[in-house]
Amino acid sequence: MQRANARWQAIIAGRPDDAYAFLSTGSKAVTSLDVYKKQARLTGFRTADAKSAVCEEQVCKVTVDIILDHRVMKGIPYQLDESWVLENGEYWYVWRL
């Protein structure tokens, strides 16, 4: 969950390059940094906190509580489930296109 929180802190801080660095090898193979910057929602997040992780042999499902600020409405609570895969002894975020 530490890596999930670190990725979200990069997003909140406006550092998409750092957030992209957490993507799995497979995610990076099909999505360049430029495409990621264009397609990923990288703004409007106030807070994010990884609350739980359920791990199997090679995959962890991480639940993240997010507070989203939209131009029309502020402070929207949202819960997101993320997939992280084990590669070379470390977990990496699987980005859904």
CATH code of residue 18: 3.10.450.100
Q: Give the pLDDT mean for 42-46.
A: 91
How far apart CA 92 and CA 58 sit, in angstroms, is: 11
Q: Give the pLDDT mean for 51-71.
A: 95
Model confidence over 15-30: pLDDT tens digits? Answer: 999 999 999 999 999 9
Pair 45, 29: CB distance under 8 Å: no
Predicted local distance difference test score (pLDDT) of residue 97: 56
For the chain, what is the domain count? 1
Q: Give the pLDDT mean for 6-11.
A: 96
Q: Give the pLDDT mean for 36-40.
A: 92
> What is the model's pTM?
0.91
Full residue range of the structural domain in which residue 10 is found:
2-94
Sheet with strand 59-68: strands edge to edge: 45-55, 59-68, 76-87, 90-94
How far apart CA 84 and CA 67 sit, in angstroms, is: 21
